[in-house]
Amino acid sequence: MTSRYRSIVDVYAPLRRADGRVLLMERANTGSADGQLCSPSARLESGEFVIAGAIREAAEEVGVELNEAALHFVHVVHHRNGDGPREERTDLVRVAW
């Protein structure tokens, strides 16, 4: 019997100012991509909608309070880790401006 497809869903909430600048933060003490620059992001929690996850991450990681109207869908990525156990992920990117 074939197992049902499962993918981890990550939400990204890049924050863009009116002048086009994008806020990046350095990842630290996460165990994943520490030292790299990224926008607020994390795994979607069980039962959580994508927009709610993006709002939560912006608040938790950089202290920015967003509302749904500020978030605009821009991109989706599906990828797999190349080494070790195959872990498939789907990344959903919503930009706030």
Model confidence over 53-96: pLDDT tens digits?
999 999 999 999 999 999 999 999 888 776 655 678 888 888 88
> Could you give phi then psi for residue 2, rounded to 5 degrees?
-80, 135
Find the DSSP H helices in 1-97: 50-62
- 78 to each of 37, 42, 58, 73, 95, how far by Cα in Å? 20, 15, 22, 15, 18
Beta strands in 1-97 (DSSP E): 8-12, 25-26, 37-38, 41-43, 71-80, 88-96
Domain regions of the chain by residue span: 8-96
- Digit-coded pLDDT (tens) for 10-35: 899 999 988 999 999 998 887 777 89
In the numeric block, which tokens belong to residue 84?
A: 């070790």
Name the residue type at position 15: L
Q: In terms of CATH architecture, what is 8-96?
A: Alpha-Beta Complex (3.90)
The pTM of the full predicted model, rounded to 2 decimals, is: 0.79
Q: Residue 10: which residues within 8 A CB-CB, separation 6 or more?
A: 41, 42, 43, 44, 89, 90, 91, 92
Give the pLDDT confidence score for residue 54 in this predicted structure: 93
